[in-house]
Chain A
Amino acid sequence: MSTTASAPLHIDTTPTAPIPFLRLVRVEWRKMIDTRGGRWLLAITAALVLLAFGLTLLVVGLDDAVVSAGVFAQVMAVPLSLLLPVLAILIVTSEWSQRTTMVTFAFEPHRLRVVLAKLVAVVCLALVTLVLALALGALGTVVGAEMIGGEPIWDLGWNDVAWLTGLQLVYLVMGFALALLFLNTPSTVAVYYVASLLLPYMVWGILFSLFDWAQTLLPFLDITYAVTPFQTGNDVMGQPVDTGFLEVLQLLSALTIWVFGPLVLGTLRVLRSEVK
């Protein structure tokens, strides 16, 4: 080509700083809630939390019995685990369905930083919503006791809060990890709900109560079955369990199948895939 350069051929990039990690997190957080879909999911979750709050107080009023802080916290956490995982899934899969990966990974070619920023945003979502739900639960405990003139029962220990938080994180990160693995919204949502809700409550329960092999096998495969002994001191059928080495192994096995495994494999897939 016969051209004369009128500007330097070398671009000096030294004055440019890399994008700070926290800024990436802030962007991913904003992406999670700046679409109509994201706002609806949050609004419905808030409505469900308030509904659970109202229903629990209604039970208190009708039954004339104090609901303890521990029970209130459990009730408040249930609506959170219903729809928030979809946000954790969409923060990954919507980039592929909307093809915005071409922009995201052109802005930050180090894809691992983007994946980690998304993960941190998901963890923040889990923590913020749980704190709000627990605060509402505490309020409910006081209000409920006032309603029937009883004393509030504060039986929510740090251990309970830790397990509640841990489980919230596990389920959100599980949705996130499966999303990285499938990179597709419908299949991720389907697999997530089958694995986290349908199987443990509709299928495993029956097998667990009928077969010895199911009692041996299921705690290795299913997060609910693996976690329950740690959370309550009993297995899912209410039988007392001493948590020892076997139970730790079961927990690690279930978490590897549904959280760590998909997280690692899915991240590798994202790092290696061609973006178009």
Chain B
Amino acid sequence: MIKVEGVTKVYGGFTAVDDVSFVCQPGRVTGFLGPNGAGKSTAMRMMVGLTPTTRGRITIGGHAYTDIPNPARHVGVLLDASAQHKGRSGREILNLAAITLGLPSSRVDEMLDLVSLSPKESKRRLKNYSLGMMQRLGIAHALLGDPEVLILDEPANGLDPAGIRWMRDLLKSYADRGGTVLLSSHLLNEVELIADEIILIGRGRIVAQGTKKELLSRDGQETAYVTAVDNAAFAAELARRGFPVEIAGDGLAVGTSPLEVGRAAAESQTVLTDLRSASTGLEDLFLELTADTQRESAVAVQPAPATVGTSNEGVA
């Protein structure tokens, strides 16, 4: 379990991480989502003692990271897959790690196998690795010591869709065995695919946190996209039931849950060709954050009414 309590990091006059608190539970994959420069990497470096905190406290499994003996046997860390010596082979990088941690060299072969790096690829020097291969090596490096906790900074960066699926399956099964996973990303769909729990961070502050479902139903506003054979008639039926309806592309956007729309369709005997949840809530929130950090002088994000697990801040 990772516990972050009121952690702040100030560089000169710039606050990179501002009073951040959250908990990563065992058995779950927690996604740390935010635009570039939001403070994700700084927060992760503080977790493993590479960057001193200005204020606050971080414990992993009840210990400060620097107090854990041979910490990589308990906490697997991947902060930057390219931060390895470019002249060493992937295998040599793992060999050095295995010696440091006191592991047999057979563990290196196991890990190479796990991340699907072939013996031939493992003998190549890192400078000849693709970004995807580097990320796989980084995952192998983090998992080498069979840790209870994983801290991964942008692990899916550079992976193709098949690679992202592979990583999702790997991390999910790791979490199912009781492991704690914290991974960061600046891409919403990566986090949506992999994480059970999402922490949204922008300008060093946590903007929202919760499960994907909780975040989607923030403000209590759910939207469903629906397409019926006769859209006009179904729109009238939905409006009669009091749901806000708009025309959206070939179909309709309805201000309620897909369940309600489905019920309306069944009761009015309407034939539907498409019905799905529109995850605009999360995406809008994320885009607002991104826009906010891109235009420093722009009007800040309007605080949303606090609902499940949200704490919105206008100006960071």
Contact = CB atoms under 8 A, between A and B. Distances in A.
Contact of A11 (B25, B61, B66): B61
B51 A23 contact: no
Contacts of B74: 11, 13, 16
A106 B72 contact: yes
Interface stretch (B80-88, B218-226, B262-270): B80-88
Contacts of A18: 69-70
- Chain A contact residues: helix, strand, loop or mixed: loop
B26 A34 contact: no
Given A3-B197, A105-B50, A106-B50, A10 B62 contact: yes
B129 to A, nearest CB: 14
A274 B51 CA distance: 5
B100 interface: yes
Contacts of B49: 105-106, 109
Given A36-B87, A98-B84, A106-B50, A7 B26 contact: yes
Contacts of B48: 106, 109
Given A6-B178, A274-B50, A276-B45, A106 B71 contact: yes
Contact of A109 (B65, B73, B97): B65
B63 A24 contact: no
A47 interface: no
A275 B77 CA distance: 14
A165 interface: no
Given A19-B102, A107-B97, A275-B51, A99 B80 contact: yes
Contacts of B27: 3, 5-7
A241 B16 CA distance: 61
Interface string A237-271: 00000000000000000000000000000000000
Contacts of B84: 98, 100, 103
Nearest to B196: A3
Interface in A4-30: 5-11, 13, 16-19, 23-24, 26-27, 30
B80 A10 contact: no
B88 A11 contact: no
B191 to A, nearest CB: 15
A50 B269 CA distance: 94
Contacts of B99: 23, 26-27, 30
Nearest to B77: A106
B254 to A, nearest CB: 27
B253 interface: no
Contact of B25 (A5, A105, A108, A275): A5
Contact of B66 (A2, A23, A110): A110
Interface in B150-190: 178-180
Contacts of A105: 49-50
Contact of B100 (A10, A19, A35): A19
Contacts of B80: 99, 102
A107 B71 contact: yes
Interface in A152-209: none
B37 interface: no
Interface in B4-41: 22-23, 25-28, 41
B83 A99 contact: yes
A24 B97 CA distance: 11
B52 interface: yes
A109 B83 contact: no
A129 interface: no
Given A1-B197, A11-B149, A102 B26 contact: no
B64 to A, nearest CB: 9
A16 B97 CA distance: 16
A103 B83 contact: yes
A16 B25 CA distance: 22
Interface in B107-152: 141, 148-149
Nearest to A35: B87
A243 B196 CA distance: 74
B210 interface: yes
Contact of B28 (A3, A17, A98): A3
Given A30-B96, A109-B66, A1 B83 contact: no
A17 B51 CA distance: 24
A214 B288 CA distance: 69
B85 A11 contact: no
Given A30-B99, A103-B141, A98 B83 contact: yes
Q: Which 10 interchain pairs have the tightest Cβ spacing?
A: A11-B61, A7-B178, A7-B26, A6-B27, A99-B83, A109-B66, A275-B50, A18-B69, A35-B87, A10-B62
19 contacts: A1-B23, A2-B214, A8-B26, A11-B63, A13-B69, A17-B69, A17-B70, A23-B100, A24-B100, A27-B100, A34-B92, A34-B96, A37-B87, A100-B85, A102-B45, A103-B84, A106-B48, A106-B77, A107-B100
Interface of B: 1, 22-23, 25-28, 41, 45, 48-52, 60-63, 65-66, 68-74, 77, 79-80, 82-88, 92, 96-97, 99-102, 141, 148-149, 178-180, 197, 209-211, 214, 309
Given A1-B25, A27-B99, A99-B80, 9 more contacts: A5-B25, A11-B63, A16-B73, A35-B87, A103-B141, A109-B49, A109-B65, A274-B51, A275-B45
